[in-house]
Amino acid sequence: MNVSEGNDGEVPEPRSEAQTAPAAHQVDFPPVQNGVDYLDSVADQLRSGQPSPRNLKYAVLHLQAAAEVLLKARLVQEHWSLVFKDPGTAKRDRFEAGDFDSCTTTGAIGRLRDIAGVAVGDKPAKSLAILAKWRNRLQHYGLTAPAPAVEVTAAQVLDFLVAFVHDELLPALPGPEAAEAAADLESVGTKVRSITSYMAARLKRLADELKDAADRTVMCPVCDQWALILGNPAIVMDCRFCHTTWPNAVLALEEYYEVNLLDANVQDCPECTQHTLVVESVGTVAAPGASSSVCFCCGTNFEVAAQCTDCYNVFIPDPVEDHGLCGNC
């Protein structure tokens, strides 16, 4: 922010009324500098060991503001019309006056990928979408969400945006502006590293706790961490990282598929008989890239499972007498 002030210890010369106009004190934040300033605020909110609910509230608000400013700044580098909600109605005078409806965060990510050729991974895109949803709730309805889930999502988006500014925005800025933004970004980066170290330490402790359940631990649909252990139908399900709870396996399964946008192939479990066996489409800590068949109720991981060609139920085939039919058929 640029502010014109008199020199310390000196009495400024009298100014005329025209010279003391409001322009002497201006809010001057070019887009990238503005976005980096938001990031600095977010880093301050998160850098304490356990951010308060108020810290997290402003982290969400400022981080979403940063995301919108910085993603759209990159679109403007490609072409100014791309920030309009409908680029076909874009007019230069409205753009310069800032008088238009702009695209959403999700829309900006799509245009960055498809038009500008910017690589935005699925994980940051998902975190950005969650962040935008939380920000809208905060602004219009209020937000109730597990603090650890908000914290980890904010940390992920913050980390992504710092790299995004460095890789995508700084190279195209004029020298003086780039130098100033780079200096501010370095300060943010120092704070982010302390946050990242803290988060990494938490995840390491959690990994030690979950190592004996790796083949039945899946990604939590709320905090996006590998911390949801399946397999104890007698208790309320909960994520060991963000502590979100579900009263039963069916509701946890529904949210898992909704968030991951998967087509559910759910069958009756041969082990516990509940309709919660997900066939060949679940990643676990033990095999994150694999398509495992896991029951969300009893937690049984069926490394070898087949679907009956008659009744379509899942069964464990006999290695010697497998005719494609379950025991009932």
Residue 329 corresponds to which tokens in the numbers above? Answer: 């058929």
User: Which residue in 38, 44, 40, 41 sits closest to 73, CA to CA?
Assistant: 38
Q: How many domains does the chain have?
A: 2
On the question of pLDDT at 8 being above 60, the answer is no
Pair (178, 245) in one structural domain:
no
Q: pLDDT digits over 21-34, tens only?
A: 444 555 456 889 99
Pair (38, 108) in one structural domain:
yes
Q: pLDDT digits over 144-181, tens only?
A: 888 888 888 888 888 889 889 988 998 888 888 888 88
Domain boundary among 164, 186, 207: 207
Which stretches of the chain are assigned E, i.e. beta strand? 217-219, 226-229, 237-238, 245-246, 266-267, 277-282, 292-295, 301-302, 306-307, 314-315
Q: pLDDT digits over 81-111, tens only?
A: 999 999 999 999 999 888 999 999 999 999 9
Amino acid at 36: V
Domain boundary among 157, 183, 207: 207
Domain boundary among 207, 236, 259: 207
Average pLDDT score, the chain? 81
Choose the weakest-confidence range: 135-139, 155-159, 234-238: 234-238
